[in-house]
Amino acid sequence: MKKLILSIISFGILFATQAVAQQRIYVCEGFRYDVHEVRSTDDIVFSADGLELSIGDLDTYELDDIDSITFAEPQFPRVDIRFDGASATVNVGVGVKGVTYKIQGANVALTSTTTSEEYLYSVSGTSTNGSLVINGEYKLSVELAGLTLTNPNGPAIDVECGKRIGVILKEGTVNTLADGKGGTHKGAFYTEGHPEFEGGGTLNVTGNTKHAICAKEYLQFKKSTGSVNILGAVSDGIHCGKGKKNDDNSHFQINGGVITVNNAGSDCIDADDYGCMIIKGGVLNLNVTASDGTGLKCDSVIYMTGGDVNITVNGPLSEGIRANYAAYFDGGNISMDVKADGTKGIRAKRCSKTTDTVLNGGFLYFRGTNVNMNISGKTYAADATDCVGIRADRDLTQTAGDITLTVTSTDATPLVVKGTENRTGGTLVVK
């Protein structure tokens, strides 16, 4: 924040002391930056609450995401890794200290001893029998710059750093990752720390042993994120969680990007270990195909203030959205097809077993999100589980937003509230 304030002060001084028709500035978010041509300080405007910064009519940034605004093109200390079939090369750039590496065939292992300098690891090329492992104790960024990598013996990328890990999808590139079958690892793309995805490229991931993308702590998709496609996973498509109670590092957050999950063997996206979900923007396209699977699942609370969530619930006994304590739907749009037998569209669950992580929940709050749900599933014959559109195991409150439930099955139920139903605003239409 200090760098940002100094940058804006310097920018104002430049225009106050020089007759400058146009100035090129670079807005830096980690190792990624945007270039803008501006004419005066009037082109840089803070929001009323001081949380956002707008550059002309082009882009709006959250201040927490901006590291600096500079007048010269940024130069970052970087390490370049390139895969080429059965081999790989590593180039440690000028200014990078304390980074060593080993290469065996197309398997690359890097170790960083820095505790004060953040480096960019740019990865490109192709290998069907390769891997990348990065060990370190300090935050770093990994740029996927046109990478196709399959590791038949483990994760394609494994970042063993318990800090913030920037994952940059380089603009204009397509990146594809896959792991091998039958391993003991947790994901095709695994990070011990908390990854923050950004950049306008595309990432395709397949998890052949367990999850496709797995983070030990929180996982975030920033506004600038392009497309992330989970092509398949034996277990969850995207999994995150730290395993500590009341820890804000256990959450899934999406501010932007288009995230698509298909062919997950369990949940499409799971915020585990007391985890919560924060949906501020972007698009989630989720196809729940597993029996007893879930589109969006978290152990505690879901907060939705924006974005578009599109879910097809195809697996028997599966659920579209489930919070094991409460869900707050304050903005954005949810579109859902609840097709299979015994399924639930949106559910707040009340967990009461002593082995459950979060107890005595079951609350739903609709305070601005628009919901459009088609319900065509039937009762699951084996155990007589009903198909339900929206279910609150305790209380449901609606103060705003439009909810439309269209039921085309003779034995499906649009709405079940086990506790108190309190609706003072918005609309609820059942067709």
For 305-337, how does the pLDDT look when each residue is reduced to its tens digit (9 = 90+)? 999 999 999 999 999 999 999 999 999 999 999
Position with higher pLDDT, 47 vs 119: 119
Residue 118 pLDDT exceeds 60: yes
Residue 201 corresponds to which tokens in the numbers above?
């490229």
- Measure the CA–CA gap between 208 and 198, rounded to whole angstroms: 25
**Range(s) of the domain holding residue 249:** 78-430
* Closest among 65, 117, 112 to 95, alpha carbons compared: 117
Residue 65 pLDDT exceeds 90: no
Residue 426's pLDDT band (cuts 50, 70, 90): very high
Task: For residue 166, count other CB atoms closer than 10 A to its CB.
Answer: 22
If asked whether residues 337 and 418 sit together in one domain, one would say yes
Domain boundary among 39, 70, 101: 70
- Please tell me the total count of domains within the chain: 2
* pLDDT tens-digit series, residues 172-185: 999 999 999 999 99
Position with higher pLDDT, 195 vs 8: 195
The predicted pLDDT at position 11 comes to 53
- Measure the CA–CA gap between 176 and 292, rounded to whole angstroms: 28
CA angle in degrees (0–180, nearest 5) for 100-103-108: 80
Contacts of 169 (CB under 8 A, 6+ apart): 144, 175, 197, 198, 199, 200, 201, 202, 203, 225, 226, 228
If asked whether residues 286 and 332 sit together in one domain, one would say yes
If asked whether residues 297 and 338 sit together in one domain, one would say yes
- Measure the CA–CA gap between 286 and 422, rounded to whole angstroms: 30
- Measure the CA–CA gap between 275 and 355, rounded to whole angstroms: 16
Query: What is the DSSP code string of 32-101?
Result: EEEEEEESSGGGEEE-TTSSEEEETTTEEEEGGG--EEESS-----EEEEEEETTEEEEEEPTT--SEEE
The predicted pLDDT at position 54 comes to 84
Cβ(130)–Cβ(107) below 8 Å: yes
Residue 91's pLDDT band (cuts 50, 70, 90): very high
Distance in angstroms between the alpha carbons of the first and the last residue of the chain? 51
Residue 2's pLDDT band (cuts 50, 70, 90): very low
Mean pLDDT of 71-82: 86
The predicted pLDDT at position 240 comes to 92
* Closest among 209, 202, 194, 200 to 250, alpha carbons compared: 194
If asked whether residues 136 and 55 sit together in one domain, one would say no
Q: Give CA separation, 339 vs 309, 342, 379, 388, 411, in Å.
A: 17, 9, 11, 10, 12
Cβ(297)–Cβ(271) below 8 Å: yes
- Measure the CA–CA gap between 350 and 360, rounded to whole angstroms: 5
Domain boundary among 70, 92, 122: 70
The predicted pLDDT at position 235 comes to 97
Task: For residue 378, count other CB atoms closer than 10 A to its CB.
Answer: 17
* pLDDT tens-digit series, residues 242-269: 655 545 567 899 999 999 999 999 999 9
Residue 62 corresponds to which tokens in the numbers above?
């959250």
If asked whether residues 289 and 174 sit together in one domain, one would say yes
If asked whether residues 9 and 121 sit together in one domain, one would say no
Mean pLDDT of 363-370: 98
The predicted pLDDT at position 7 comes to 54
If asked whether residues 145 and 104 sit together in one domain, one would say yes
Q: Is 8 helix (H, G, I), strand (E, B) or coil?
A: helix
The predicted pLDDT at position 272 comes to 86
The predicted pLDDT at position 4 comes to 54
The predicted pLDDT at position 10 comes to 53
Residue 57's pLDDT band (cuts 50, 70, 90): low
- Measure the CA–CA gap between 191 and 215, rounded to whole angstroms: 5
pLDDT above 90: percentage of residues in the chain: 71
If asked whether residues 270 and 344 sit together in one domain, one would say yes
Domain boundary among 37, 70, 103: 70
Burial of 64-79, coded b for 16+ CB within 10 Å and e otherwise, reads ebbbbbbeeeeebbbb
If asked whether residues 40 and 187 sit together in one domain, one would say no
Mean pLDDT of 266-282: 93
If asked whether residues 191 and 58 sit together in one domain, one would say no
Residue 410 pLDDT exceeds 70: yes
Residue 75 pLDDT exceeds 80: no
If asked whether residues 327 and 389 sit together in one domain, one would say yes
Residue 58's pLDDT band (cuts 50, 70, 90): low
Task: For residue 83, count other CB atoms closer than 10 A to its CB.
Answer: 24
Cβ(277)–Cβ(302) below 8 Å: yes
3 state SS for 127-150:
ECCEEEEEECCCCEEEEEEEEEEE
The predicted pLDDT at position 177 comes to 98
Residue 231 pLDDT exceeds 50: yes
Mean residue pLDDT across the chain: 90
If asked whether residues 257 and 378 sit together in one domain, one would say yes
* pLDDT tens-digit series, residues 151-161: 999 999 999 98
- Measure the CA–CA gap between 192 and 2, rounded to whole angstroms: 29
Residue 378's pLDDT band (cuts 50, 70, 90): very high
Position with higher pLDDT, 42 vs 309: 309
Cβ(371)–Cβ(404) below 8 Å: yes
